[in-house]
Amino acid sequence: MPELKNRITDDMKSAMKAKDKDALKAIRMILGAIKQIEVDERIELDDTQVLAVIQKMVKQRKDSISQFQAANRSDLVKVEEAELVIINNYMPEQFSEDEISVVVDKVIADSNASSMQDMGKLMGLLKGQLMGKADMAVVSKLIRSKLS
């Protein structure tokens, strides 16, 4: 069993013992999403794939928070933010915008990218390097600013 999935399972057991309902709910959601993919595709996810599932959940929470804020639903914002904090515990250390910029500059130089037509190629190269370590929306914004 992958290391990250083991850690999540162990944290679920700890949350059960501590009777931490909020953490337990969020952890069960993560494990449910992982199990759903494993059952649908009849595979066991490795750490990279588990990280992709968690990253998708983080993005969903951020989108929900912005929509709930726009609708003045502070009660739902609090719930989503609490889940986001717990889910973020399983994400690797995030790069700062300066660190992302250094990686983007290096990839642009290495690939001889010169225009926005190279955007897709750059995103593909950077996704492998920055998976889980950076928000790809920030990466995309940096590439656009550097190529235009």
Domain 97-147 in CATH 1.10.10.410: yes
Question: Per-residue pLDDT for 137 more than 90?
Answer: no
- Residue scoring higher pLDDT (23 or 148): 23
The domain limits of the chain are: 3-89, 97-147
Handedness of CA 133, 136, 137, 140 (dihedral sign): positive
Q: Domain 3-89 classified CATH 3.10.180.10?
A: no
Nearest to 132 by CA among 82, 83, 101, 93: 93
pTM of the model: 0.80
| pLDDT, the chain, mean | 92
From residue 28, alpha-carbon distances to 25, 32, 36, 41 in Å are 5, 6, 12, 20
pLDDT tens digits, residue range 74-114?
999 999 999 999 999 999 888 999 999 999 999 999 998 88
Which residue from 30, 58, 59 is spatially nearest to 45, judged by alpha carbons? 30
pLDDT for 2-13, tens place per residue?
A: 899 999 999 999
